[in-house]
Amino acid sequence: MLRGFFRQDAPTGGGRAGVDEDPLRACMQLERFGVIVTRGERWRAHPDYENVFQAALDAIDQRFSLVPEGFVSMPTTVTDEPGCPETDHETEPFLLARTCVTNAQYQKFVDAGSYEDLEIWPESIWPHLIGFQDQTGKAGPRFWRGGRHDEAKGDHPVVGICAYEAATYANWAGFRLPTEAEWQMAASWRIRTSAHVFRRYPWGDSHDPRRCNTWASGRGGTVPVGTYTEGAAPNGVLQLIGNVWEWTASDLEMTDDKGRPVVGDMLLKAIRGGAFDTYFSCQATSHFRTGLACLARAHNVGFRCVLDAGRRDG
C-alpha cells in the first residue's frame, strides 16, 4: 500500500530532466563514483566503460584519502575520564572522503528522484519517508526550500538529514558511512607502530579554534567544506573536528557509571566530531562519543562517505 504513495516511474539515475539516459554516463554525471568502481561489472561491454571507469577512479583518488589499519579505544560510559572503561577495536584500511557531502552533491541525489524510489530505502523507513520534507513540503533536507538548497551554500555540508538519509545517499553513491571506530581511527590517527601515538585532534593534542569551526571560532554557522585546512588530518582529510557532527553507521552503545544502559526516545546513532555550535572543546575531540536520535534532522549534523580499500570491480 505504501508504494502507492510514491511515484514508480522515475528510476534513480535516468529519465530525469538533465540526466543522461545512459545509466553508466548518468552514474558519472550524478557523481555515483562508488557504483561505477564497485558495481560496474554489469557495464563491462559498454563502449565507454574503460574511460568512465578510469574517470571514476580519478575522482575517487581526488576526493578520498587512505586511512591505514589501526586500532582505537572507545570509552563505554558517559563519564569520559582517564581510567574509565574502554573497548578496543581494530580497523582495516579504508578510503575516507576528504570532505563531508555538500549541498550541491546531495542536490544530485534529490534531483534524481531518490526520495520517490522506495527500492533504495530500507523497508522499515518507508512509513517515515513522507516526513523527509523541506520547509516548503518538497522532498529533501529539512532546511531547503522548493527542493533546492541555498545556492550560496552549495559547498557547505548538507544538514537537516537523518541517519537514514545519510546512509541511503552513501549507498546510492556506491559508498557507505564509516563505523564509529573507523571515524575515530581517521581523527586520532592511531596507526600500528612501535610507538603508541594517540592524537586528541587530527592535527595534534591541543584545541585550536583557528583549526576547526566550533563555537569558539565565532562563525555561528557552517562554512565551506574545503576550509580550515590547518586542521587537516595527516592524510589531508578536512574538518573531522567542528563544522558539523557526522553520522556514523554505528548505534550508540553506552552506560552510565553504574552500568545502566543509556537510551533515547528512539534508536540513538553515534555521531562524532563536534559542530559549529559545540560550546565545550572537550566535546569536539577525536574520542568524544555521543549520539542522536536516528530520525533527527538537525541543523548541525552532516556526514561523509567511506569506500573499502581494494574493493572494486574490473
Partner 1 sequence: MGWMQADSGDPQLRCLICEALNTMDVVVCAECSAPMALVHDSVTQGRAPQIISVLGDSNVGKTVYLGFLLDMLSQRANEFEAIPKGAYSVDLQQNVVASMTQRQFPAKTAMEPDRWNWAYYQARKSGGRRSKWYDLVMPDLAGESLAAEIANPATYRVIRSLLTKSAGAMLLVDAALAANGATRPDFFALKMMSYIDSLFQTKRDAKVQTPIAIVLCKADHCPESFDDTRRFVQGSLNRLWNLCESRFQTVEYFACSSVGSLAYATGADDDGLDFARPIPLHTSLQGILEPFEWLISRM
Q: Give contact residues for partner 1 (rule: CB under 8 A).
A: 78-79, 135, 142, 215, 218, 245, 255-256, 258, 260-264, 268, 271, 275, 277-280, 282-283, 288, 290-293, 296-300
Q: How far is the CB of 286 from partner 1 (least distance, A)?
A: 15
Q: How far is the CB of 148 from partner 1 (least distance, A)?
A: 18
Rounded distance between C-alpha atoms, residue 146 and residue 184, angstroms: 36
Residue 109 or 245: the one with the smaller Cβ distance to partner 1 is 245
Q: How far is the CB of 221 from partner 1 (least distance, A)?
A: 11
Question: What is residue 100's DSSP assignment?
Answer: P
Q: How far is the CB of 64 from partner 1 (least distance, A)?
A: 28
Q: How far is the CB of 261 from partner 1 (least distance, A)?
A: 6
Residue among 287, 306, 270, 266 nearest 128 (CA):
266
Residue 57 or 216: the one with the smaller Cβ distance to partner 1 is 216
Residue among 152, 176, 240 nearest 204 (CA):
240
Residue 236 or 264: the one with the smaller Cβ distance to partner 1 is 264
User: Residue 158 corresponds to which cell in the numbers above?
Assistant: 548538507
Residue 38 or 255: the one with the smaller Cβ distance to partner 1 is 255
Residue 156 or 297: the one with the smaller Cβ distance to partner 1 is 297
Residue among 70, 72, 47 nearest 193 (CA):
70
Alpha-helical runs (H) found in 64-188: 103-111, 126-129, 163-172, 180-188
Rounded distance between C-alpha atoms, residue 48 and residue 213, angstroms: 42
